[in-house]
Amino acid sequence: MKWRVVLFSLLVSLLIIQFGMCQKVEPDLKTKAEKRPNGKSKSGKGPGKTPASKPKVKTTPETPKEAQTYLTQVVNKGRFQKAGDTLTVHAGDTLELRCKGNPVEWAVPAYLEEDDEGRLRTVQHERYRTLFLANSTAADTGEFTCYPMYCEDKDCRKQYDKGVKVFIFFSDPQELFVPSADYYEVIQLRTSWPTVLPCQVTSPLAKVTLHQEFPPVEVKVDGREISFDVKKGFTIHRPKQYHAGSLYCVASLGNLRQSSTKYMLIYVNYPAAPPSPAIQASSDTVAVGQNLQVTCTVIGKQDVVVDFTWEYPGQKIGRPLYTQDSVQTVQVDGQNRQRTQTILLVDEVREVDQGTYTCTAQNLEGSRSASTSVKVQQSARTNTKPKKP
59 pLDDT tier (thresholds 50, 70, 90): very low
Overall fold of domain 70-171 = Immunoglobulin-like (2.60.40)
CA dihedral sign, ordered 362, 367, 370, 371: positive
- Nearest Cα neighbor of 94 from 54, 113, 121 is 121
CA dihedral sign, ordered 271, 272, 277, 278: negative
pLDDT at 18 over 90: no
Region 165-182: what's the mean pLDDT?
A: 93
User: Distance between CA atoms of 119 and 131, rounded to whole angstroms?
Assistant: 11
Task: Say what the pLDDT of residue 63 is.
Answer: 36
Task: Say what the pLDDT of residue 220 is.
Answer: 94
Same fold, 70-171 and 277-377: yes
13 pLDDT tier (thresholds 50, 70, 90): low
Which position has the higher pLDDT, 234 or 302?
Answer: 234
Region 107-136: what's the mean pLDDT?
A: 88
User: Distance between CA atoms of 101 and 128, rounded to whole angstroms?
Assistant: 5
Query: Burial level of 35, CB count in 10 A (0-12/13-18/19+)?
Result: exposed
CATH number listed for the domain at residues 277-377:
2.60.40.10
Task: Say what the pLDDT of residue 107 is.
Answer: 92
What's the half-sphere exposure (Cβ side, CA atoms, 13 Å) at 180?
Answer: 17
Which position has the higher pLDDT, 366 or 1?
Answer: 366
Amino acid at 9: S
Percentage of the residues of the chain whose pLDDT score is greater than 90? 57
Region 341-370: what's the mean pLDDT?
A: 95
Sequence-distant (6+) residues with CB within 8 A of 348 are 289, 290, 291
Percentage of the residues of the chain whose pLDDT score is greater than 70? 80
Q: For residue 29, how far is the Cα from the chain centroid? A: 80
pLDDT at 19 over 60: no
CATH class of 184-268: mainly beta
pLDDT at 31 over 80: no
pLDDT tens digits for range 259-311 = 999 999 998 888 888 999 999 999 999 999 999 999 999 999 888 899 999 99
Largest CA distance in the chain: 192
Which position has the higher pLDDT, 272 or 89?
Answer: 89
CA distances from 257 to 119, 247, 303 (A): 30, 17, 41
pLDDT at 60 over 50: no
Domain range annotation of the chain: 70-171, 184-268, 277-377
Predicted TM-score (pTM) of this structure: 0.61
pLDDT at 200 over 80: yes
Task: Say what the pLDDT of residue 156 is.
Answer: 87
